[in-house]
Structures are given as C-alpha cells and as structure tokens.
Amino acid sequence: MASMNTIGALVLAAGKGTRMHSDSPKVLQQLLGEPMLRYVYTALDPIFGEGIWTVIGHGADQVQKAFADEERRFVLQEEQLGTGHAVQVAWADIERAGVHRVLVVNGDTPLLPQPRLMAFMKEVVDADADIGFMTLTLADPSSFGRVVRHNGDVAAIVEAKDFDENLHGQEPNEINAGIYLLKVPTIAPLLTMLRNTNRSGEYYITDLVELAVARRMRVRGVDCGQDPHLLGINTPAELVRSESLLRTNLVLEWLEQGVMIHAPETVRIGPMVALEPGAVLHGPCELYGRSEVRRGAEVHSHTWLRDTVVSAGAHIRHFSHLEDAVVGEGCVVGPYARLRPGAVMEEGARVGNFVEMKKSVLGRNSKANHFTYLGDAQVGQGVNIGAGTITCNYDGVNKHKTVIADGAFIGSNTALVAPVTVGAHSLVGAGSVITKDVPDNTLAVARGVQKNLPRKR
C-alpha cells in the first residue's frame, strides 16, 4: 500500500443538518459527551496526522471554537452548495500539499472503524483505482444514494432525490456509504465538470463516479456489507441509535480489560476516559472527558464525572458530581458532594454529604463531612471542618483565599471571611465569624454573647 505520506484526508463538515432541529452545527452534536466530529478525528489522526483538512460552513465559528486547542486545518465553504463544491473549495490546499490520494469522509460518521478504513484504502490503492468508495447493503435504501451497476460494474451513484426506476432500473439495495478515496491528479479535471442540474441544485461528489466511468477510469465500489458503523447521522433518532451502539461497544471493551461494571446497560463512558483493571463502576453513572478511574477505586451509582482523576482505592459515593477535580488515594467523596474545577483532595481526605469544593486543596487525612463550602481555600493535613462551615471568598468584586493550616479544627457553623488564615493546631469555636488571622495554637471565638431572658407569654 502507498505510504500514508502520499494520502491525505478531507472531512466534510459544512452542512447545517436541518433534520437535527438544532441551533448547533450537526458535527457538534454530542455522543457520550463529545462532539461527533471528535470521533472522526480520533479515527483519522493516527493514520494521517497533520494531513487532514476539514471543510466547515454552517456554524463555522462554533466548530473552530470547539477545536481551538488543537491544530486543525479548516477550509471555509462560505456557501453550502453541495458535497462536490466542498471538495472543490479544499482542492487547492490538497494539491499544494502534494498528496497523491485523498480520503473523503463525512463529519457525521462518528463510528468510523479505523481497521475498515485501512482495509478500504489498501484495496483501492492495490487496484490502482482513480475513485474508490464504500458501499452498504440495506433492506430500506430509500433515503440514501443508490449504487447503479451494469453487469456488476459500477456505473453511477444516484442520490435519493434523483433516483428514478424508469431511468435507472429496479431500485438496488446497495447504497453509497459516503466514504471515498480519490486519486488527485486524475480527479482534478473532473471536479471542473460537476454540474448542479439536479433536484437539490447542488454539486454532488457522487457525480464524479459517473464522470469517471464515462472516461473509462478505474472505479471501485468496495462492498462493506451491512456495517452500521459506516452510516451517517441525520436525525435525533439516528444520533441516539449511534450513541447506544457506541456506548455498548465501549462498555464491552472495558469489561474485557478487567474493569468491573455493575448494571453495564446504565453506564455511560466517554471515548477519552481511562479506566484501570480493578476499577469498579456501579450503574447508573456517567464518566466523560479525560476522566481516570484507577485500580481499586469505586464509583457508585448516580454519579457524574468529567475530566476528573479518581486515584487508587478512592470511593465516589452516590449522587456526587465532579468536574476537573483530583481525588487522591483512599479518599471518600459524598454522597451528595460536588467537586468543581480546581478541587484537589489529597490522600485519605474526606468530603461528605452536601459539601462543595471549588479551586481548593483539602490536605492529607483532612475531612469536611457535612454541609460545607470550600472555595479558593488551602486546607492543610489533619484538619477537621465542622458542619456548616463556609469560606466567604467573594467580596462582590474579587475572589480571596482562605488558608487553614495543619491540624486546625473549625467548629460548626463558622464563616471564614477571606482573605484570612487559621494557624496550625488552632481551634475556631462554633458559630464564629472569623475576619482576622488566627495565630498557631490559638482558640478563636467570634460570636455574640448569649443572654438568657425570661420568656414573655
């Protein structure tokens, strides 16, 4: 097979996706917490590296923003005049790159199997075909472009709107999967011959096949059977079906790798999540982004994690919500806890029910077991945070830091008005409002004096 350096990839992602009935571009519709275009890149990146171009149009700014942290080659299709026009828009960039062939895929095929792509490209290259494309066989092909053959040889691809049995013969069950491999030097002249004389008034990439056949070029339709992974997504129902298939595949892969998943049919695991053998998940639960669950850690039911590390032996109890957080070894979170971005729990720390952390560090073996808010706080080792403690970090304009040193004890119903420091091994009396620093080894009490008066009846 030709070197991958001589083959590029073109992703068509400019369409509006009218049937999705969404304000977001179709390629940004999510499956398991990631846009469908992410899955296409996941399949293509290991093969093509930087040799990938993406044609964007509708919602172009949104697509670029979604992938702003990555080096992507975007080509703008200002008017969406069809798939053939999208290829024309990107063709100059492809030719300048010096690739000999280009794989064209749609951005709405998130289940694209990499091994299938590799086998397809090998078959087309080995046959030295000018155009190769994947085909599928469906019981109901009515909404897809049909592959028309004469004596077994490909003659044309006819889009669903334009198919006519009187012109094209009995309706075939073989459909176009929308994945092509084009030989750049020989296809370039055909692109200038595309016409929009069809019911949609668009320039179709599929017309390249008929043009090539008419000029006795080598055209190869590669039969991929009934593989559902190759189907594009056009409607919410198709999105849900594809997500279900993807979810099942991912769960089965993790089970085979030694992850214990209870009630697996209720567990949702994103494609970039990393799980170690010996990790335990209890459904229903959801893990997204670059979350990690390490050996011996346990995630209980009704929990939601994104971009969160759960270290070995840690427990995430029921109904907890964690985002961009780090949970150290042997820590316990929840039930009903919330860890917001920047929350870090060091080894053996505990947060219990209705505790919220944000941009805070809870030190080794420290605990906040009930009804607490820790925001912009640095908590040392062996600290006890009593129920109802609040770090008052916001003055209406700026956020300020609270520091609680090793071994401190914060009594219940305490307000720590930042910026403030509670020294090592100090004790803050329950119900205090602390506005000044507390030195080490000090008892601090700041509350009104109790008065007992006769009750008037």
In a domain, 259, yes or no: yes
Final residue of a domain: which of 213, 230, 247?
230
Q: Is 358 annotated as a binding residue?
A: yes
Q: Is 15 annotated as a binding residue?
A: yes
Catalytic residue among 168, 318, 370, 425: 370
Rounded CA-CA distance 124/113 in Å is 17
Asked if pLDDT for residue 159 goes beyond 90, the answer is no
- The domain that holds 329 is classified in CATH as 2.160.10.10
In a domain, 456, yes or no: no
Question: Do 148 and 185 have their domain in common?
Answer: yes
Rounded CA-CA distance 223/152 in Å is 12
Asked if 367 contacts 351 with a C-beta cutoff of 8 angstroms, the reply is yes
- What six digits make up the tokens of 138? 């469906």
Question: Do 176 and 194 have their domain in common?
Answer: yes
pLDDT tens digits for 105-142? 999 999 999 999 999 999 999 999 999 999 999 888 87
Question: Do 226 and 373 have their domain in common?
Answer: no
In a domain, 450, yes or no: no
**Does 370 qualify as catalytic in the annotation?**
yes
The share of the chain scoring above pLDDT 90, in percent, equals: 86
- The domain that holds 206 is classified in CATH as 3.90.550.10
Asked if 26 contacts 16 with a C-beta cutoff of 8 angstroms, the reply is yes
Strands (E), 80-152: 101-106, 131-137, 146-150
Q: Is-cis flag, bond preceding 284, omega within 30?
A: yes
Q: Is 159 annotated as a binding residue?
A: yes
pLDDT tens digits for 36-88? 999 999 999 999 999 999 999 999 999 999 999 999 999 999 999 999 999 99
Question: Do 185 and 244 have their domain in common?
Answer: no
The share of the chain scoring above pLDDT 70, in percent, equals: 97
Question: Do 139 and 253 have their domain in common?
Answer: no
Question: Do 154 and 288 have their domain in common?
Answer: no
- Which residues span the domain enclosing 134? 4-230
Domain count, the chain: 2
- Give buried/exposed letters for 241-274 (b at 16+ CB in 10 A, else e): ebbebbbeebbeebeeeebebeebebbbbbbbbe
Question: Do 295 and 151 have their domain in common?
Answer: no
In a domain, 112, yes or no: yes
Asked if pLDDT for residue 259 goes beyond 70, the answer is yes
Say how many CA atoms lie within 13 Å of 105 toward its Cβ: 30
Judge residue 438's burial from the number of C-beta atoms within 10 Å of its C-beta, 0-12 exposed, 13-18 middle, 19 or more buried.
buried
Asked if pLDDT for residue 198 goes beyond 90, the answer is no
Q: Is 9 annotated as a binding residue?
A: no
Q: Is 394 annotated as a binding residue?
A: yes
Question: Do 80 and 123 have their domain in common?
Answer: yes
Final residue of a domain: which of 174, 199, 230?
230
Rounded CA-CA distance 86/99 in Å is 18
Question: Do 410 and 369 have their domain in common?
Answer: yes
